[in-house]
A and B are shown apart, each in its own frame.
Chain A
Amino acid sequence: MLSELFFGYYASAIVIFSLLVVTRSNPVHSVMWMLLLFFHIAGLYLFLNAEFVAAIQIIVYAGAILVLFLFILLFLNLREELKVKRFIGAWPAGLFVTTALLVIVLSVVRSFVPGPAGKYSIEFIKQETHTKALGKLLYTDYLFPFEIASLVLLVAIIGAIVLAKRKTRSK
């Protein structure tokens, strides 16, 4: 009973906050609602016994990515931004497509049957500790994807610097 109540609070908060993120006309407000949304998603991860992912969610998403978004918002002319329309003219078409997709996905989800359970039961993780179990798997079976992820980050660093660099005008 208590866990259902807990999930209900987190689920309704997440849905409401994501609706607010998408519909606010002031982008700074959107970023602030998104911050709350990320904290609630991290709470949901804790509820699912994924404490490392919850910590990463707060550190990387709320700490790094949202701050990047706020920096970019400083470029905007907010006063002008508040005057123009926030949605494109054909937004009912977008709403129709999204609700149709949602109905399709929800009707499929109901017939989902989970497969056999793996070896990482709660007792096993309790004995091993969560971060240790995750790190062991990440640095043995998933070492190659891990290296590829580091390469992706390197490309992102170089690409961001090259793209955002001010071009020197030659006269």
Chain B
Amino acid sequence: MVPLNWYLMLSAVVFMIGVFGFLTRRNIIIMFMSIELLLNAVNISLVAFSHYLQDMRGQILAVFIITVAAAEAAIGLAIIIALFRNKDTVHADEMSEMKG
């Protein structure tokens, strides 16, 4: 029997790889894919909790997270299309109009 902690460690490692990609990649599309990686890492730990605690709620939360991920991908990619039309680039460090 695989202990629950192994799943949590796997989830943490995948989450941190996603954080690294989001922080350091220049291409905004890869940054969005890193966000999908983060959501998947959380889903792994939720489903593992659901199995080991013998409770269905973790899987229901995972289904909701997949729904929100689909909505987020649609909106995010629409924003990328609008950006690409106006700026002709997908690199995050070349978009500095707001001088944040």
Residues of A within 8 A of B (CB): 3-4, 7, 11, 14-15, 18-19, 21-22, 27, 30-31, 34, 37-38, 41, 44-45, 48-50, 52-53, 56-57, 60-61, 64-65, 68-69, 71-73, 75-76, 81, 84-88, 90-91, 94-95, 97-99, 101-102, 105-106, 109-110, 112, 114-122, 133-134, 137-138, 142, 145, 149, 152-153, 155-157, 159-161, 163-164, 166
The secondary structure that dominates the A interface is helix
Q: Contact: B24 with A50, CB < 8 Å?
A: no
Q: Contact: A7 with B2, CB < 8 Å?
A: yes
Knowing A7-B2, A119-B54, the reply to whether A105 touches B77 (Cβ < 8 A) is: no
Residues of chain A with a CB closer than 8 A to B23's CB: 91, 94, 97-98
Complex-state Cα separation, A52 to B66, whole angstroms: 12
Knowing A41-B40, A44-B44, A65-B36, the reply to whether A75 touches B54 (Cβ < 8 A) is: no
Q: Contact: B26 with A105, CB < 8 Å?
A: no
Nearest 10 A-B pairs (CB), nearest first? A118-B55, A156-B71, A22-B21, A94-B23, A163-B78, A94-B24, A160-B78, A91-B24, A164-B78, A48-B51
Count of B residues near A, CB < 8 Å? 71
Q: Contact: A149 with B68, CB < 8 Å?
A: yes
Complex-state Cα separation, A110 to B82, whole angstroms: 45
Q: Contact: A101 with B60, CB < 8 Å?
A: no
List residues of B (40-73) whose CB comes within 8 Å of A's CBs: 40, 43-44, 47-48, 50-57, 59-60, 62-64, 66-73
Partner of A160, one of B12, B36, B51, B75: B75
A-B contact count (CB 8 A): 218
Q: Contact: A109 with B26, CB < 8 Å?
A: no
Q: Contact: A3 with B27, CB < 8 Å?
A: no
- Nearest to B64 among chain A residues (CB) is A149
Partner of A21, one of B21, B51, B70, B90: B21
- Nearest to A11 among chain B residues (CB) is B10
Knowing A106-B9, A157-B74, A164-B82, the reply to whether A149 touches B67 (Cβ < 8 A) is: yes
Residues of chain B with a CB closer than 8 A to A60's CB: 66, 69-70
